[in-house]
Structure 1
Amino acid sequence: MSNSFTNIKQSHVFFEDAPGLKKYYEDWASGYDVDLADQKWVAPRVAANFVHLLASAYGSPGTEIFDAGCGTGLVGSVLSTLGTYEIDGVDLSENMAAEARKTNAYRKVYGGVDLSVPKRDERLGQYGIVVSSGVFTLGHVRPTALLTLIEYALPGGLILVSTRGSYATETGFEEFALASEVGARASLLFKLPDASYIAEEGADYWVFRRTAPAQ
């Protein structure tokens, strides 16, 4: 079994332990990209192309993007090759955020932001498109973090989330995504099922639209 496979698996044990997860990624940041590439992690490229499609179909040239759980900046790096986007990002790990800044794909990046906390970071606004790739996976955040992501979207804005197959099965993500608690805030536009994610397994890609306030 390769070290890269083991390193990824060891990140899947931190549910309800944000400090432990943060420390793990602080230590892993310098080797993260190599390990994920070794395991054929294509999720950032899929997500970035998906965002580009959504921006082309539903957005405008000025659509701002929020990369929730940006890691080392892989989604932003791909997006920067597809168009001229203003992208802000956050990550739980300061070291991962530092790696993302090095890509020069982001307008601003903040570390130390826990997406499990049901509150929008006061340093950030709301966005036309919110994307989260690789966050809804085992040991990271519970499905309720979707409510936090919705808070970062403008009314009428889009939220794109990938859910690794094993995560969706274990956590009941689909049941939560279709529950009234989410439906009161956003509507599910569509789901791309069992698409490419990593060599070991696929993922579902979900697109929600934040509900505009009643006039």
Structure 2
Amino acid sequence: MNNSFANIKQSHVFFEDSPGLKNYYEDWASRYDGDLADQKWVAPRVAANFVHLLASAYGSPDTIIFDAGCGTGLVGSVLSTLGNYVIDGVDLSENMAAEALKTHAYRKVYGGVDLSVPVRDERLDQYDIVVSSGVFTLGHVRPTALLTLIEYARPDGLILVSTRGSYAAETGFEDFALSREVSELASLEFKLKNANYIAEEGADYWVFRKTGPTQ
């Protein structure tokens, strides 16, 4: 097992331990991009191109995007090559957020934001498109974090999330995504099944449209 693979696996053990997950990423931030590139992690590029498609099809030239769990800013970096998007981001780790700021792809980025907490950060708005790439994975957040992402979308806004295959199977993400708890707030528009994610396995990419009132 090489170091990059082992480092990724070690990040998968923190369910219900947000402080532990945050500390892990604080230490990993400077090496994160290299480790993920080594394992052919293409999820940020897939997600960014998917967001660009959604913005082109349903948005407008002033579409504003929220990158939930932005990490080192990989999604924003790709998006910045596709259009003049306004992007805000948050991450659990302060050091990861600092790396994202260095990309200059974001209007603002905040660290220390736990997406497993079902409350919208008061410093942030509601957005035309919410994207979350690599957050719904083993040891990170439970499916209920989808409710938090919906809070960040404006009425009729879109929410795009990736779910790693093993995560979706272990957590029952699909059952939750189709539950009444979610459908009362957002409708599932479509799902891209078993698409490229990382060398080890694929992921599903889900698109929801918010139907509930603004919060």
CA distance in 2, matches of 1:129, 1:73: 16
| Matching residue of 1:41 | 41
C-alpha distance in structure 2 between counterparts of 1:2 and 1:148, whole Å? 35
Task: Give the letter aligned to residue 54 of structure 1.
Answer: L
* Counterpart residue number, 2:119: 119
Q: Which residue does the alignment assign to 2:60?
A: 60
Q: Shift of the alpha carbon at 1:213?
A: 3.8
The answer to whether residue 88 in structure 2 is matched with residue 84 in structure 1 is no
Within a 5 Å distance, the mapping from 1:190-205 to structure 2 comes to 190-205=190-205
The count of residues paired between Structure 1 and Structure 2 equals: 214
CA distance in 2, matches of 1:190, 1:2: 36
* Amino acid in structure 2 at the alignment position of 1:204: D
Percent identical pairs in the alignment equals: 86
Q: What is the root-mean-square deviation of aligned Cα atoms in Å?
A: 0.9
- Quick check: 1:2 aligned with 2:6? no
Corresponding residue of 2:93? 93
Give, in whole Å, the separation in 2 of the partners of 1:80 and 1:99. Answer: 16
Structure 1 unaligned regions, length at least 5: none
For 1:89 and 1:212, locate their aligned partners in 2 and report how far apart those are by CA, in whole Å.
Answer: 23
Match of residue 26 from structure 1: 26
TM-score in terms of structure 2 length:
0.99
Q: Is the partner of 1:41 in helix, strand or coil?
A: coil
Question: What is the CA distance between 1:212 and its match in structure 2?
Answer: 4.8
Give the aligned partner of residue 51 of structure 1: 51
* Secondary structure of the structure 2 residue equivalent to 1:151: helix
The runs of at least 4 consecutive aligned structure 1 residues that moved more than 4 Å come to none
Asked whether the 8 Å contact 2:164–2:204 carries over to 1, the reply is yes
Structure 2: tracts of 5 or more residues without a match: none
1:60 Cα deviation after fit = 0.3
Normalising by the residue count of structure 1, what TM-score does the alignment of the two structures yield? 0.99
